[in-house]
Amino acid sequence: MPLHKAALIAGALALMATMAGAVETRVMVAGDDSLTGTLRDSSRAIGALEGGNEDGTDRSAPLTPDDVVALAAADYRRLLATLYNAGYFAPVISIRINGREVADIGPFDRITRIDTLVYDVRTGPAFSFGTVAIGPLAPGDSLPEDVAQGQPARVSALEGAVSGALRGWRARAHPKPRVTDERVAADNSAATLSATYRIEPGRTATFGRIGVTGANTVRESRVLQIAGIRSGKPFDPEVLAEAQRRLRQAGAFSGIAITEADSIGPDGALDLNINVTEAKPRRIGFGGDYSTTDGLTVTAFWLHRNMRNAAERLRFGATIENIGVSSGGTNYKFSGRYTRPATFTEDTDASIGFGAESLDQDTYQSDRAFFELGVDRYIDEKLDASLFLNYSYSDAKDAFGKRIFNVLALRARLRYDGRDDPGAATRGLYAEGRVAPFYSFGESVTGARMLFDGRGYRSLGDRLVLAGRAQLGSIVGAKIDQVPPEYLFYAGGGGSIRGFSYDSISVTLPDGKQTGGLSLAVFSAEARYSFTDTIGAVAFYDYGSVGTDSWIQSGDEWYGGAGIGARYTTPIGPLRVDIATPVQGGKSGSIELYIGIGEAF
């Protein structure tokens, strides 16, 4: 090896060795010491020394002393911004490496070893707002309370007030408001911060020409139809946000960006451009659950997102349930659905569904086929509804013998979802109500099936979540022997009363045979605790009943199941492993195991 290369390698190894030892880092704050942690987190140099680089990711190359000096020098500005945001406008910041002020280290000074990195911060007095004038404001708007005289002078509050003023004008069809004059003054003697921002609202505008780019296979006319932006209507940023939401929900696009023209046209119109990135048109997926009583359940689906080059979806799904169970048999289900977004209105999806299933349950067997058509309606970000006309044919055998059912039903659903995360909620409410009036041909029976599902979540601290659920169902207008067995209510299983087999809780007829009920009530409570970001535990209790009348009666038998579980967070949702046992009703001492993806509710 040439001598000069050996020397370079030796020098590099020596330099790396100097950084291999631990560097003592300290942050000392005089004044508001509650900022110590925040200031430490603001330091890129400390963050890099503790295992990450300046953007928080792991470094692939070791730090050199020069790296630390450069990062520490940049920390003056970062710490100053942090202090300004906390309302301290007369701080003194000292950053020292090996006792030497970093600002005094020149570009040609050679630091070969770093032993200490010390941040010494004197916050000075906390400033409050003096006079803050931002205007003119849009009609009906006012400045937020956090910039009122005497409030802590936080830069983020001031910036938020200015941004809010600009948003107010945009919401009133002024798409190009701007700040034309800005004056900010700090009075050190009075420890106050005063600010004046002059806003020019700009002209009012309507939506102008709307262009589409990036749509290679989806027709541009369909992109515009789904987006629902109408040229000539007054400019409204909420309309743009809704258009992005509709295009995203259509499923045919992996990226959506709506950009505005730089200026309003002479005719008062603002042109727009919708840029989309098309998703891969086809997708397949698989899933599964397992429990010791219900056996293995496997699911699969195939999806095409862009039928007829119109962002219309065709989905086929198949499910096999109860594989390997000791009682009952295996269920087979197949379904298909064709969905057309933006039909009738931009917030209405029309679809046609069909399917067939062969069910072999403990209390009945049924071969069934169905066809339905209807609409799903988006109301707002938390509320949606659907209405479908459904026809089903079933050849069933249950406690009442072998029967044929031809049923026409009108299925209506209203759903509210206020959860923070539908897959692993920590707070919020969820409620879904279903009503399905039906007519059974042959015996000319009319009735209605109703089901309510309500859930609530509340966080107690950062790690504990309490969750509760209530499921209430009722069938009115028909006798129990006039209703198809798949319409009746059952309980038990991973999404119902754990500790019992799937749909194993039913009602007993006078002749001793089992069948589903006309009413249902199931209540569940869970305490979910997270030990780390990925590992957690759950304790739960489920309690419920199935009744022979349309409403649960005091004499109906109640069942309870309790257990514990473990959770492991994955990119597709929490891996759920639950162990449950009956505590009321059922076989005492039996243990049931449930494995699946996602929380129980």
Q: Among 219, 212, 218, 216, which Cα is nearest to 273's? A: 212
* Structural domain for 227, as ranges: 206-278
Is residue 9 a part of any domain in this protein? no
Q: What is the CA radius of gyration of the chain?
A: 32
Instruction: With cut-offs at 50, 70 and 90, classify the pLDDT of residue 251.
Output: very high
How long a stretch of residues is the chain? 601
Asked whether residue 313 falls in the same domain as residue 168, the answer is no
**Lowest mean pLDDT across 20-29, 303-312, 393-402, 537-546:** 20-29
The per-residue pLDDT for range 355-380, each reduced to its tens digit, is: 999 999 889 999 999 999 999 999 99
For 361-463, strand residue ranges (E) read: 365-380, 383-398, 401-417, 428-440, 445-460
Is residue 8 a part of any domain in this protein? no
Amino acid identity at 232: G
Is residue 4 a part of any domain in this protein? no
Q: What CA–CA distance (Å, rounded) separates 289 from 599?
A: 12
Q: Taking a C-beta distance cutoff of 8 angstroms, is the pair 265, 280 a contact?
A: no
Asked whether residue 344 falls in the same domain as residue 477, the answer is yes
Instruction: With cut-offs at 50, 70 and 90, classify the pLDDT of residue 102.
Output: very high
What lies within 8 Å, CB to CB, of 331 at 6+ separation is: 319, 320, 321, 322, 357, 358, 359, 360, 361
Instruction: With cut-offs at 50, 70 and 90, classify the pLDDT of residue 61.
Output: low
pLDDT confidence of residue 60:
53
pLDDT confidence of residue 584:
93
Instruction: With cut-offs at 50, 70 and 90, classify the pLDDT of residue 295.
Output: confident
pLDDT at 6 over 50: no
Asked whether residue 377 falls in the same domain as residue 517, the answer is yes
Q: Among 46, 38, 36, 27, which Cα is nearest to 114's? A: 46
DSSP annotation of 203? -
Is residue 502 a part of any domain in this protein? yes
Residue where one domain finishes, among candidates 249, 278, 307: 278
Q: Please confirm whether the linkage preceding 91 is cis (ω < 30° from 0).
A: no
What is the rounded average pLDDT of the residues 315-330? 87
Q: Strand 269-278's sheet: what is its strand order?
A: 206-213, 269-278, 253-260
What is the rounded average pLDDT of the residues 467-485? 96
The share of the chain scoring above pLDDT 90, in percent, equals: 79
Q: Taking a C-beta distance cutoff of 8 angstroms, is the pair 385, 350 a contact?
A: no
Sort 150 into a burial class: Cβ within 10 Å, 0-12 / 13-18 / 19+. exposed
Residue where one domain finishes, among candidates 87, 122, 157: 122
What is the rounded average pLDDT of the residues 119-141? 96
Q: What CA–CA distance (Å, rounded) separates 312 from 218?
A: 9
Amino acid identity at 17: A
Burial pattern 104-121, b for ≥16 Cβ within 10 A else e, equals ebeeeeebeebeebbbeb
CATH number at residue 461: 2.40.160.50
What is the rounded average pLDDT of the residues 303-324? 95
Asked whether residue 266 falls in the same domain as residue 175, the answer is no
pLDDT confidence of residue 158:
96
pLDDT at 264 over 80: yes
Task: Share the mean pLDDT of the chain.
Answer: 91
pLDDT at 157 over 70: yes
pLDDT at 350 over 60: yes
pLDDT at 246 over 90: yes
Residue where one domain finishes, among candidates 71, 93, 122: 122
Q: Among 497, 498, 473, 469, which Cα is nearest to 483's? A: 473
Is residue 7 a part of any domain in this protein? no
The per-residue pLDDT for range 180-207, each reduced to its tens digit, is: 999 999 999 999 999 999 999 999 999 9
The per-residue pLDDT for range 396-444, each reduced to its tens digit, is: 999 999 999 999 999 999 999 999 998 889 999 999 999 999 999 988 8
pLDDT at 481 over 70: yes
Q: What CA–CA distance (Å, rounded) separates 10 from 91?
A: 44
What lies within 8 Å, CB to CB, of 413 at 6+ separation is: 385, 386, 387, 432, 433, 434, 435
Asked whether residue 505 falls in the same domain as residue 585, the answer is yes
> What's the structural domain count of the chain?
4
Asked whether residue 273 falls in the same domain as residue 286, the answer is no
The per-residue pLDDT for range 482-504, each reduced to its tens digit, is: 999 999 999 998 889 999 988 88
